[in-house]
Amino acid sequence: MEYNSKVWRDFKFQKHRNFLCLQEYSPEEIEAIIKVSEQMKLWEMLGEEHHVLRGRTMAMLFQKPSTRTRVSLEVAMYQLGGYALYLNAQELQLRRGETIADTARVLSGYVDAIAARVYSHRDVEELAEYSSVPVINALSDFSHPTHAPAVFMTIKEKLGRVKGIRYVYVGDGNNMCHSLIVVGTKLGAEVVVATPEGYEPDSKVIEWAEKNAAESGGNFELLHDPVKAVKNADVIYTDTWVSMGDEAEAEERRKVFAPFQVNRKLVMHATPNYLFMHCLPAHRGEEVTDEIIDSEHSAVWDEARNKLPVQKAILSLVIP
């Protein structure tokens, strides 16, 4: 099977476009990402080459450590026929005071895209503002848009659909939570978020979720009771209680989030065939117990594996 450009022509997807926050993308465009991801995964399984980005280059500007996002992006670019250049922000002139705007101007003169993993979402927005090539948010403190499609691709594989499922996020209303809320509500899922008081998602994301759900026929609910939230859940999702940048609050967060641990007692309230998911890295014994993450209900490893075809889809759809 050779590369078939019709796969891309079938989708109304604007190339040369920044990929910063999934709220900026329509439900049809998000579904396109998942469908192209499925095509990429099929080609992988068949061992077929799909060099749709032959000769393209991408700079990977990372301020934070990364395992899955970094490796999947690098391998994706290589398998698409391109080249990814990893740039540790501490080794660039940024460390010596060069502005993000100037860095964007320079890098976009050398490469066809910039993937950035940053502390502040404003940094990736500024990169996009001054770059002449697409900027891809590889994680910021506000969103994680390259991971969320892998979650819903995995759900579709396991459950056969996304629309109408009861999707429950338990834990911190963080960047991962934001992206999952956006995609879930855009695709018509019944999205429930359970957080301790004071750790809710950003109010702007809640507004988006309510609007998305009204348009898609889905639903959004914010609760502070994890037991009530996971009742009849088809999917239970959690994330670390201490995100990068929150380390100073670690001890306090562990106390506050203890009742939100995903364990055997909590999952008893879900459907018999529920899925457990986590973006990783997991802090076993904190947000989830070994018994759950290693159980037959866990789709964590499938989710992580699906990051590769999803990254390929995003790169191939965004990079001109």
Q: How does pLDDT run across 169-188, given as a tens digit for each residue? A: 999 999 999 999 999 999 99
Question: What is the separation of C-alpha 161 from the centre of its chain, rounded to a whole number of angstroms?
Answer: 18
> Domain 148-305 falls in which CATH fold?
Rossmann fold (3.40.50)
Average pLDDT in the 69-84 region? 98
Element (H, E) at 153: helix 148-159
CATH of 6-144+306-318, one of 3.20.19.10, 3.40.50.10800, 3.40.50.1370, 3.30.70.100: 3.40.50.1370
Average pLDDT in the 240-249 region? 80
Q: Give the other-Cβ count within 10 Å of 279's Cβ.
A: 25
Cα–Cα distance, 276 to 253 (Å, whole number): 22
- The pLDDT score that the predictor gives to residue 96 is 61
Tokens of 139: 């994680």
155 and 165 in contact (C-beta within 8 Å)? yes
- The pLDDT score that the predictor gives to residue 88 is 87
Cα–Cα distance, 186 to 205 (Å, whole number): 12
pLDDT digits (tens, 9 = 90+) for 280-298: 999 999 999 999 999 999 9
* Preceding peptide of 281 cis, ω within 30°: yes
Cα–Cα distance, 191 to 267 (Å, whole number): 17
Decide if 6-144+306-318 and 148-305 have a common fold: yes
Average pLDDT, the chain: 93
Q: What burial letters (b/e) apply to 5-41, b meaning 16+ CB within 10 Å?
A: eebbeeeebeeebbbbbbbebebebbbbbbbbbbbbb
Average pLDDT in the 7-24 region? 73
Average pLDDT in the 68-87 region? 97
- The pLDDT score that the predictor gives to residue 49 is 87
pLDDT digits (tens, 9 = 90+) for 150-162: 999 999 999 999 9
- The pLDDT score that the predictor gives to residue 208 is 98
| Domain residue limits, the chain | 6-144+306-318, 148-305
pTM for the model:
0.93
Q: Give the other-Cβ count within 10 Å of 258's Cβ.
A: 12
More confident residue, 243 or 238: 238
Task: Give the CB-side neighbour count of residue 59, counting CA atoms within 13 A.
Answer: 23
pLDDT digits (tens, 9 = 90+) for 116-129: 999 999 999 999 99
Tokens of 12: 């109304």
How does DSSP classify residue 201?
P
Tokens of 122: 């404003």
Q: Give the other-Cβ count within 10 Å of 206's Cβ.
A: 17
242: confidence class by pLDDT, cuts 50, 70, 90: confident
58 and 82 in contact (C-beta within 8 Å)? yes
